[in-house]
Amino acid sequence: MARPKSPLLTTGLIAHAALELIDSGEPFGVNALARRLGVRPSSLYNHVSGREEIIELVRGLISRSYDFTSADVHALPWPEAIEEYLRLERRMYTEHPNLLPLIATLTVTDDTAIAAYDGLATMLVRAGFPDDDVLVVMQLLDAFALGAGLDYAAPGDIWRPLGETAHLGRLLETAAPGRERSDRAFELGIRVLVSALQDMLTERTQGAAARTAD
Amino acid sequence: MARPKSPLLTTGLIAHAALELIDSGEPFGVNALARRLGVRPSSLYNHVSGREEIIELVRGLISRSYDFTSADVHALPWPEAIEEYLRLERRMYTEHPNLLPLIATLTVTDDTAIAAYDGLATMLVRAGFPDDDVLVVMQLLDAFALGAGLDYAAPGDIWRPLGETAHLGRLLETAAPGRERSDRAFELGIRVLVSALQDMLTERTQGAAARTAD
């Protein structure tokens, strides 16, 4: 039998090539992806419905390579588990900075990514957060991890004043490099958020206890 | 005198057209912008060095339309001033969601944007934050506002589980709409961050006082 000229197209192959294209920094699009795979765009459309489905496949691929649902993380007390979760999510964004803007504003449907968020929801429910707060807390944590990923992806010199400033220019001259500051900002943010969640839970629990005692 | 066929190209006109193109949701690029302005790309290059300079012009345009350096804000006690600042920054991102990924990872050089960040730096220096902390705190606040902007720009149904979940599906069924949750998450985040900064400042100040007393 003659060997096929090109490997058979599968959604797995499409996702891998799409991630490579995104990581390369070249603009992402169905046509560019087809060129990279050496196929016609119409061949891609035999496997996926379009740009959004491809990005969602990439989200699945990347979610499987960061172990959000690891038993180790979920065995930790919830405040530490949340810290680990945030570190992992930020690492995912810092290691694939071009992916962040593509996946951030797309509905999550991929099974593995949903399982990761479901794990976080379960963690918060078990910790004792009222149902009404769980998704809000998840969106706050997600926003923080996304913002931290964007901050890390920013160039080393985030601010470059071209004229006089009251303080900014002076502070930049003696400051640590941008990414070192980004790490410090992230650690500060984690500490602050997790400790605020602990306070919030205490308040909610005491409030509920007081209502029960009435 | 005959009227010119098209308005004279200026950096101001380029910035306005670029913002319109970005807000329209069409992919942003020099060629697309030239088409929108009815000029050849080479004409654009007589005024700007390329894509990055255009985006920086747009950052300037947008920064001038949100009054970050307003005397009213800067007259507030610093914790409230920071809250106002964060609300303004998030509003800028929610009103121009497509701009966010473009400006987030580009060095800030525009005068008005630099003045906004310089104002924030001055606020933190005057509040008493040590020089070493000011830029870190600024990056944390910026990351939070960026993430909150991305969270708001996300579709109403951020998560759409296609299979069984432990809790996520159940929570989504009875949850408030995504953007209402996004507002709540942002308000929770503001409260948490500003109160943590107040604690941090108290610690730092007490630490410095203790060292002076030694």
Residue A203: the pLDDT is 87
- The complex's ipTM works out to 0.89
Residue B188: the pLDDT is 93
CATH classification (class only), A1-65 = mainly alpha
CATH classification (class only), B67-213 = mainly alpha
Rounded Cα gap, residues B203 and B199, in angstroms: 6
Contacts 24+ apart (CB under 8 A), B76-79: B78/B123, B78/B124, B78/B126, B78/B127, B79/B194, B79/B197, B79/B198
Rounded Cα gap, residues B68 and B90, in angstroms: 12
> How far does the CA of residue A8 sit from the closest CA of chain B (Å)?
27
The mean pLDDT value for A188-199 works out to 92
Of B104, B162, B168, the CB nearest to A109: B162
| Nearest Cα residue to A55 out of A10, A118, A120, A100 | A100
Chain mean position to CA B12: 21
The mean pLDDT value for A30-59 works out to 95
Residue position matching structure tokens 């630099």: B114
Mean pLDDT of chain A: 91
Delimit the domains of chain B by residue range.
8-65, 67-213
By residue count, chain B amounts to 214
Question: Which B positions 126-185 lie with beta carbon below 8 A of chain A?
Answer: 131, 134-137, 139-140, 142-148, 150-151, 153-155, 157-163, 165-169, 171-172, 174-175, 178, 181-182, 184-185
Residue B182: the pLDDT is 93
CATH classification (class only), B8-65 = mainly alpha
B155: left (phi over 0), alpha (psi -120 to 50) or beta: beta
pLDDT averaged over 10-residue windows placed end to end, chain B, 214 residues: 66 96 92 95 95 96 90 90 94 92 92 96 95 94 94 88 96 90 94 92 81 68
Say whether pLDDT at A142 is over 80: yes
Using one digit for the tens of pLDDT, what is the confidence trace for A54-112?
A: 999 999 999 999 988 888 888 999 999 999 999 999 999 999 989 998 998 899 999 99
Helix residue spans in chain A (DSSP H): 11-24, 30-37, 41-44, 51-65, 71-75, 78-95, 99-104, 111-127, 131-153, 168-174, 178-213
What is the model's pTM? 0.89
Of A131, A140, A168, the CB nearest to B171: A131
